[in-house]
Amino acid sequence: MATPGVPVDNNEDKKDQSEPAGEEDFETLKYQLLGPSLTKAGQDAVDQQKVSEIIYNASKGSKFFNHEQERDRNLTVKIERILKAKARLEKLDLSHDLRRADEYLAELELSRDLSQFVIHVDCDAFFAAVEELDRPELKTVPMAVGKGVLTTCNYLARKFGVRSGMASFVAKKLCPHLVLLPQNYEKYTAKATEIRAIMAEYDPLFETASVDEAYLNITAYCDENQVDPEEAVQNMRARILEETKVSVSAGIAANAKIAKIASNQNKPNGQFCVVNKREAIMEFMRTLPVRKVNGVGRVFERELGSIGVVTCGDIYPRRAMLTKLFGEKAFQFLAQCYLGLGRTNIQPIEASERKSVSTETTFNEIGDKEELRAKLRWAAEEMEKDLVRTQFKGRTLCLKVKLHTFEVLTRQTAPPRAVSQANDLYAFALPMLVKLEKEIPGMKLRLLGLRCSNLVSTKKAGINFFGVTTQPRSSAAQTTETSVQKDDHEIGPEEAFESSARQEVQDEMNDLEQLSQEAAHFPDTGESSGAVNPGSSPAQWECPICGRPQVADDRIFNDHVDFCLSRQTIREVVEDTSQEEPSAPASRKRKPSQPSTANNDTRQKRLFFQ
């Protein structure tokens, strides 16, 4: 029942036996250290026992290792709690939960759609493959892309146990001759564009899942060209290989979830089809390790394994206790795994679906406050560039730090208005950093980052809007190429979005109006959040910390903000400021949630629960 190599937590056969005091369970830790991509192709012939030993010894004693060890201990404790809960449940009458579970399964079954052919296309060792095109001699040696941590490696490297996500010095221990190449993302994007051009012929509305992955719905294509899906995919893969020299693998199934799993089945340069019949799907899922399903990672795998759920088939006999052990969402997710259900509507990802913009960098431990401040300044400037590029401002600003111990902390704040300029980002982030420095004496960081969320678009369509008569439809036409003018009140997914976009614009207008009254200036370019006034008059701004209006250039602005922040009263002032200038009202409308179609359209990528 157990997957070879996967450590077994106290499972039901062993009952509730804790480890002897003072002894560590190194098996789970070693498994954790193996990294998240164990399930990737090319690892079958590898002696995982030996590999994990090498990784373990290379890592032992490091701060990274200690942190992983702590996480492993915490998870072990959590699993003990799960097992105790399970033991209690087994003494109770679960017939009610059983009936509820069966009702849900029956309901899901009704939503099963076997009429669509969805495929998932996945490039094989993509970054490495692209590099090999430029330098064919690399095909014959183990090679990986990435600096400190590997992003991709070719199949020769995988034979040594090397895999993505691995620290390069560890990879070198496993494979001393490993060739390391720096990442060249533009090159990969260009190649991906070539591949996508071909995929578009099979489904113009295909969905890119990442730079090297895509979902297509080829139902219409197969219908129009009178070919069966396997033949069409065979054909498409051959064309991609011929015309772009990149090999891809594909999965063919009734929905995206199974297609994704299937694309990994015959990697590299292969394809796998799960035929659109209930029996075939159920049989495929029955023996499929839960870990193979998107959304089940190392942690959930161990939690499920502890109660005896290793394959999707194991879900059924435990169905009555899943809600109580892992929560409702988890139960629903697992029910769909058991039945092999997933979404069938494949659509281009709209850029406007973005919910956050972030930047972060790792560096050698820094404890010096001035140096940290310089890092923050740099992060703020990077963030400004990203916000300009993506055309957003953020209503919420989040500071992320990683301590030298690898512990991660985040602190967020809602500035009085949406921010995008480096000066503002810095000014609002610094108090959070200062506060952390107070909370953690002698704080040393190895990473610092910023994230903006609660985004406000600064796209032209929205900004031109300002001062122009409200014309939602024309705005919509600008933002959506294929938008259709509708005169009725029917709300389709597209319209729902447009309506929400209008609301965003309206909100922005309201905010700006309020601001222009308060600060007596008119930010008509969208590039400024109050720091600079257009025209020939001297630049006018207000300090985001003390709120005092000033006339100054950037240097003086920075000095003043630094001065304000260095005062003892920083926190109080900031709190007062935000009270005086409340952020967006709580009732503010959010972007539409995914249009709910059927039960099988759950796009829940994650479902976590304690």
Partner DNA sequence: GCGGATCAC
Partner DNA sequence: TATGGTGATCCGC
Separation CA 473–CA 306 (nearest Å): 55
Residue recorded with tokens 């830790």: 29
118-157 residues in contact with DNA (CB under 7 A) are: 148-149, 151
Selected from 102, 107, 243, 353, the binder of DNA by CB under 7 A is: 353
d(CA 127, CA 146) in angstroms, rounded, equals 9
Q: Where in 433-462 is the site for DNA (CB under 7 A)?
A: 446-447, 449, 451
Q: How far apart (Å, rounded) are the C-alpha atoms in residues 35 and 149?
A: 12
- Answer for which of 170, 309, 335, 574 binds DNA (CB under 7 A) is 170
Nearest to residue 44, comparing CAs of 12, 4, 73? 4
- Contacting DNA within 456-515 (CB under 7 A): none
Instruction: Give the gyration radius of the chain's Cα atoms.
Output: 27
Q: Is 362 in the site for DNA (CB under 7 A)?
A: yes
Judged by CB under 7 A, the residue of 135, 245, 277, 606 near DNA is 606
- For residue 356, what are the β-bridge partners? 453
CB of 28 to DNA, least distance (A): 12
Given strand 152-153, what is the order of strands in its sheet?
Answer: 152-153, 143-145, 179-181
Neighbours of 484 (CB within 10 A): 10
Subset of residues 197 to 226 that bind DNA, contact rule: CB under 7 A: 209-213
Tell me the CB-side half-sphere exposure of residue 24, using CA atoms within 13 A.
12
Distance, CA of 460 to CA of 311 (rounded, Å): 50
Residue 286 interacting with DNA (CB under 7 A):
no
* Partners of 541 in beta bridges: 550
Q: Binding to DNA (CB under 7 A): which residues in 67-106?
A: 71, 74-75
- Quick check: 314 and 288 in contact, CB under 8 A? no
Residue 414 sits in the site that holds DNA (CB under 7 A): yes
258 contacts DNA (rule: CB under 7 A):
no
Query: Per CB under 7 A, does 65 bind DNA?
Result: yes
Instruction: Specify the residue, 375 or 521, whose C-beta has the smaller distance to DNA.
Output: 375
Q: Out of 30, 237, 260, 560, which residue is the one contacting DNA (CB under 7 A)?
A: 260
Residue of 111, 184, 412, 558 interacting with DNA (CB under 7 A): 412
- CB distance 386 to 359 below 8 Å: yes
State in angstroms the smallest separation of the CB of 353 from DNA: 6
Residue 408 touches DNA, criterion: CB under 7 A: yes
Shortest distance in whole angstroms from residue 455 CB to DNA: 8
| Sites for DNA among residues 586-605 (CB under 7 A) | 586, 604-605
Return the residues of window 520-579 that contact DNA according to CB under 7 A. none
For this structure, is 213 an active site residue? yes
Residues 404, 444 contacting (CB under 8 angstroms): yes
Compute the least distance from the CB of residue 502 to DNA, in Å: 20
Q: Which two tokens mark 153?
A: 């490696």
- Give yes or no for residue 262 binding DNA (CB under 7 A): no
- Quick check: 256 binds DNA (CB under 7 A)? no
Give the C-alpha separation, 105 to 607, whole Å.
18
Q: Is 386 in the site for DNA (CB under 7 A)?
A: yes
Hey, is 548 helix, strand or coil?
A: coil
Nearer Cβ to DNA (203/303):
303
For position 330 contacting DNA by CB under 7 A, the verdict is yes
Pairing of strands 356-366, 445-457: antiparallel
Query: Residue 342 CB, nearest distance to DNA (Å)?
Result: 13
In which residue are the tokens 């297509």 written?
A: 216
Which of the following is catalytic: 80, 213, 283, 518? 213
Q: Is 277 in the site for DNA (CB under 7 A)?
A: no
For position 359 contacting DNA by CB under 7 A, the verdict is yes
Where in the sequence numbering do the catalytic residues fall? 213
